[in-house]
Structure 1
């Protein structure tokens, strides 16, 4: 028996359309049981699944990262980070293989750090919600779509201004010592559908970097909410599954959909 999780889920419904909105974790501890309760019902009822990336785009993401990540001219990490940040970076890197950071953009180094932290925390994308949902919908022969391409998703980071990228990298490196513990706390909050705790973590993480918040959270939430609004005009049942951080707070998807005049109900 794995870890029991009951993640937060919302429902937008009218006479002939139901759209479930499920907050996901892209990577989870092995054996996490999340596809129970109301989520199991939503999976069974849905005619189609919409995720941030379709399975094909998800599969292409690694190659796209390798295309976009390199810097034009190498820059040593010592020229980017000092003090606590440099120490934190070095300690995290020492927990596995070298990141090869000198040849990479700041945003790309940060992505690799995030992956290492997840790995060190015992999380795996093979056990993430997207992987599990894809298996279920493919087995049932139901269509799976995506809001973005892998390139579009990575370009959100690639096109951040250099100063914003450096701030994000520095903060990730300064926090690297506590990162495994924080990811554990975030996963636990997700598992008990503690929306307030999720919002606190997400906001502390990104609020002090307004340009990043706009590009990585708010603008995408607005696009996804607009998609839901359009989709409500067609009949059927859809399961929308996106990162849990996109569903919390006043600029989260449920709040935006409600602001568009739809009735949004928390169902788990």
Structure 2
């Protein structure tokens, strides 16, 4: 999954970005919906234009995870990732998929995959792909927003906890986990290029390209799409709809894949009769 990536930076200056953003508004409430990338090339400038205005106007920031929950994610991963009994990666992957997995391991430390659940191996492979693409979570949108809102003394809330987020993967049935792992391994040799293309589409605010790439990535495993994308979007849309009952201005920043397409948060809110306008 492109949205669970952590990595190193790049020495080259990164282009500026104009990510897609929507506004849900009524007489006394405004919720800006900003699509984020959790990791970016160092030096990426994304907080200009309408985004700068939304940051300045917002009374509070709402993200997938609060800073404290994000800091807890590593410990939660280590608790949930181990298998009850080891199973060799060679018994899970074959042919090009296994070769690609080994090639990713050769780029850094051993994943220790034999002792881990399929979903956890997939997450580690995604992180290694991000390293290949020269992405850094320190340059990601959430990290930048956190710094700005903390400096301004504005509150930061979260839609999920680190544990509930990881449990989305942990509770997938075994065949779905295996399908995700095999698909990730089969595409691992192209993963860095695909992540770079996804980042470029996000930078342009090209929601059609984002939707096409994300759909191709996850539609092959419908149970995963339902758990990781659609069901969460429903919960977040319900939260936003309820929040519209109170006055104020909120910046809601979540992974860009959750804001595009017919089951994206903006589309769900519009279908519920709210006024949703793309503002960048």
Shared topology, TM-score over 0.5? yes
**Equivalent in the alignment of 1:240:** 252
Cα offset, 1:93, TM superposition: 1.2
Give the whole-Å Cα distance in 2 for the aligned partners of 1:161 and 1:85: 21
Name structure 2 gaps, 5 residues minimum: 1-12
CA distance in 1, matches of 2:74, 2:132: 20
Among residues 241, 250, 255, which one is paired with 2:262 in the alignment? 250
CA distance in structure 1 between the aligned counterparts of 2:122 and 2:14, rounded to whole angstroms: 30
Match of 1:118 among 112, 122, 130: 130
4+ residue segments displaced more than 4 Å: none
Q: Which residue of 2 aligns with 1:152?
A: 164
The corresponding residue for 1:189 is 201
Q: Take 1:244 and 1:15, find their aligned partners in 2: how far apart are those partners?
A: 27
Instruction: Please give the residue correspondences for 1:1-268 in structure 2 after superposition, counting only pairs within 5 Å.
Output: 2-268=14-280
What is the DSSP-based 3-state SS (H/G/I as helix, E as strand, rest coil) of the residue aligned with 2:61?
strand
User: 1:120: how far off?
Assistant: 1.2
Between the aligned partners of 1:51 and 1:25, the Cα distance in structure 2 is 12
RMSD: 0.6
**Count of matched residue positions in the alignment of Structure 1 and Structure 2:** 268
TM-aligned CA deviation for residue 72 of structure 1: 0.7
Deviation at 1:92, TM superposition (A): 1.1
Q: Give per-residue Cα distances to partners, 1:97-117, cap 9 Å, x unaligned.
A: 100101000000000000111
SS in 1 for 2:24: strand
The TM-score normalised by the length of structure 2 is: 0.95
| Secondary structure of 2:33 counterpart | strand
| CA deviation map 1:189-235 (0-9, x unaligned) | 00000000000011001111111000000000000000000000000
Deviation at 1:2, TM superposition (A): 3.9
Q: Deviations 1:109-132 (Å, cap 9, x if unpaired)? A: 000000111111100000000000
Distance across 1 between alignment mates of 2:131 and 2:28: 43
**1:64 shift after superposition:** 0.3
TM-score by length of 1: 0.99
Whole-angstrom distance in 2 between the partners of 1:194 and 1:114: 23
